[in-house]
Amino acid sequence: MHIVITGGAGFLGARLARTLLATDTLSLAGDSPQPVTRITLVDRAPPPADLGAETRITPAVGDLNAQLADPEATYWQSAHAVFHLAAAVSGECEADFDLGMRSNFGATYALLERLRALGTKPLLVFSSSLAVFGHSPEQPLPDVIEDDTLPTPQSSYGIQKFIGEQLVADYTRKGFIRGRSVRLMTVSVRPGRPNGAASSFFSGMIREPLAGVRAPCPVPDDTPVALASPARTIEGILRAAEASDAEWGPRTALNLPSISLTVGEMAAALERVAGPAATALLDRTPDPAIQRIVKTWPGRFEARRAAGLGLAPDASFEQVIRDYVRENPDAVKLPVNA
């Protein structure tokens, strides 16, 4: 089986590739498990060294739109499944409208057209976002987002992701692909460096203090967040690929499970793991630009459809932090409580 991952050199793309290599097989849409023989990682950057050394990994380095338009990029033809994780992130899209439209709308449409032209009906998993739900005074969100809650995006990023969901649904309805859209929750704790996402601080406020570095926490303590660990996020993405059509159900996007907490509760969990020395490194200076985006996002989800697929949220955010510490020991400089 040949799998293509766009955004394959990024954190989630690389983690997905490692998971596929470790499990060695994949069942597509309820079919029998097949060995994973090749994974193509499409990204502007080369893959991490460990993946670059894998014989089953093929890097495809360059702009996604250019690779989709290139007739010499023949790896698309043999793809059994495509995981479309590449995107410009929320803060970038709000600051640069053209970047968001090119990277999120334009690339998704070009990908769907490339897959449609194959005539092989490959399976596509599209990573959407909780940002398709947005609060506004004219149309306030319900207290709890359910599977049938109407998306009302309040940012360019959220609108672009919702457009992508609808395109995937229609290309699936027409029989061009087998499409599955999953709405990712805020993913924390991500290792590495901050990115341009408005949600980046949700990882940074944990990751940087654990490394002994000061970190911004630019929103009030009572700011709610629907959060999922990297492990639960990858689990949800893979389950979307594996579910049979009957299990998957409607063509609408799936809300992945999340734990609901506040920024203050996140900080309290950090303190339980690494003590007051960690939370003393949080810079509480407000950032109005980030607050404007984040305050429109919902903080509570009732993911019954995901539960029906066997997906569950993380047990606690404290355990999420401890998992990060265990997986990234070299990035943790502060003493950690047992």
As a dihedral over the C-alpha atoms of residue 234, residue 236, residue 242, residue 243, rounded to 10 degrees, the angle is 180
Whether omega for the bond prior to residue 294 falls within 30 degrees of 0, making it cis, is no
User: What residues are labeled active site?
Assistant: 157
**pLDDT, tens only, 228-271:** 999 999 999 999 999 999 999 999 999 999 999 999 999 999 99
Contacts from 42-50 at CB under 8 Å and sequence distance 24+?
A: 42/4, 42/5, 42/6, 42/7, 42/8, 42/67, 42/86, 43/6, 43/7, 43/8, 43/9, 43/10, 43/13, 43/86, 44/9, 45/9, 46/9, 47/8, 47/9, 47/14, 47/17, 48/9, 48/14, 50/18
In a domain, 334, yes or no: no
Q: Which residue has the tokens 């299990």?
A: 247
Mean predicted confidence (pLDDT) in 310-329: 97
**Residue 41 in contact with residue 75, Cβ under 8 Å?**
no
In a domain, 75, yes or no: yes
Q: What is the per-residue pLDDT for 197?
A: 83
In a domain, 297, yes or no: no
**pLDDT, tens only, 261-317:** 999 999 999 999 999 999 999 999 999 999 988 888 999 999 999 999 999 999 999
Mean predicted confidence (pLDDT) in 121-149: 95
Q: What is the per-residue pLDDT for 174?
A: 98
**pLDDT, tens only, 162-221:** 999 999 999 999 999 999 999 999 999 999 888 878 899 999 999 999 999 999 999 999
In a domain, 318, yes or no: no
CATH of the domain at 75: 3.40.50.720
**pLDDT, tens only, 35-74:** 999 999 999 999 999 999 999 999 999 999 999 999 999 9
**pLDDT, tens only, 73-130:** 999 999 999 999 999 998 899 999 999 999 999 999 999 999 999 999 999 999 999 9
In a domain, 178, yes or no: yes
Q: H-helix or E-strand containing 128?
A: strand 123-129
Q: H-helix or E-strand containing 26?
A: strand 25-26
- The conformation of residue 228, written as its DSSP 8-state character, comes to E
Model pTM score: 0.96
In a domain, 317, yes or no: no
What's the domain count of the chain? 1
Structural domain boundaries, residue 97:
2-185+230-255
Write the CB contacts of 291 (distance below 8 Å, at least 6 apart in sequence).
218, 219
Q: What is the per-residue pLDDT for 195?
A: 82
Q: What is the per-residue pLDDT for 196?
A: 76
**pLDDT, tens only, 19-42:** 999 999 999 999 999 999 999 999
In a domain, 98, yes or no: yes
Q: What is the per-residue pLDDT for 193?
A: 85
In a domain, 327, yes or no: no
